């Protein structure tokens, strides 16, 4: 599989765009229900940062929960993921609530969002990033004081020890642990900006 990724020009750690269709499949809801996962943290009018949304498995449900006065900022490295997310957003008539941005490997390009997000979601993305600390620092900066980050990583790709190191890094950089939700197949933590 790694060889195939490299032949067609993807870095081995980044999820190939065509798997975005699998990740956004409605069948996944039976395993990981987005509303059940996110309802405890979201309410109408909230501003949300989503890093690595793929084709929007979580983005569309979040846009419905935050309502017309809320906004979801979806930042992804791959244009193809964002193109499909845009199509799905249009079909769901949610275009006014979701802003999509293409980022680079070295920057999420969200300096303008600093200190303004109520909530951030990084689901199954941090392990794909080469400079994880840089990415996490950008996410932390985007949050308001008391803003929450739900960080979730797949158990198949990330060990418990590696995940704990990420949590310790967050705790040394202005975040505190605010919960450990149980999400199938994942290591998950909720962090609050202090
Ligand atoms: C495994 S997919 C998860 C998609 C979605 N969060 C979900 O759970 O369905 C990882 C996503 O992160 C994106 N990604 C990888 N590296 C990234 C980076 N440095 N910055 C932003 N997005 C990135 C990939 O393009 C892909 O869309």
Q: What is the pLDDT of residues 107-125, one digit of tens each?
A: 999 999 999 999 999 999 9
For 140-175, write each residue's pLDDT tens digit. Answer: 999 999 999 999 999 999 999 999 999 999 999 999
Give dist(CA 190, CA 110) in Å, integer. Answer: 21
| Length, in residues, of the chain | 194
Residue 139, pLDDT above cutoff 50:
yes
| 13-7-16 Cα angle (round to 5) | 40
Average pLDDT over residues 180-193: 98
Residue located nearest, by CA, to atom 13 of ligand 1: 52
Residues within 6 Å of ligand 1 by CB: 14-15, 23, 51-54, 57, 75-78, 81, 103, 105, 123-125, 128-129, 135
Domain-wise residue ranges, the chain: 35-193
Pick the CATH number of 35-193 from 3.40.50.720, 3.40.50.12280, 3.40.50.150, 3.40.50.11260: 3.40.50.150
pLDDT at residue 13, rounded to an integer = 86
Q: Is the dihedral of CA 6, 22, 87, 138 positive or negative?
A: negative
For 17-48, write each residue's pLDDT tens digit. Answer: 999 999 999 999 999 999 999 999 999 999 99
């Amino acid at each position: 599989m790694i060889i195939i990724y490299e032949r067609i020009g993807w870095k081995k750690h980044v999820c190939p765009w065509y798997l975005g269709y699998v990740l956004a499949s409605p069948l996944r809801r039976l395993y990981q229900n987005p509303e059940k996962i996110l309802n405890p943290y979201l309410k109408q009018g909230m501003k949300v940062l989503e890093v690595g949304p793929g084709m929007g498995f979580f983005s569309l449900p979040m846009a419905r929960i935050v309502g017309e006065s809320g906004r979801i900022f979806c930042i992804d490295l791959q244009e193809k993921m964002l193109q499909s997310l845009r199509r799905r957003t249009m079909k769901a008539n949610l275009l006014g609530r979701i802003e999509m941005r293409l980022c680079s490997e070295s920057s999420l390009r969200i300096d303008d969002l600093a200190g303004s997000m109520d909530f951030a979601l990084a689901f199954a993305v941090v392990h794909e990033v080469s400079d994880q600390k840089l990415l996490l620092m950008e996410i932390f900066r985007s949050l308001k004081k008391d803003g929450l980050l739900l960080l979730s990583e797949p158990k198949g790709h990330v060990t418990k020890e590696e995940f704990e190191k990420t949590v310790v890094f967050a705790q040394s950089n202005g975040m505190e642990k605010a919960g450990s939700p149980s999400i199938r197949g994942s290591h998950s933590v909720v962090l609050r900006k202090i």
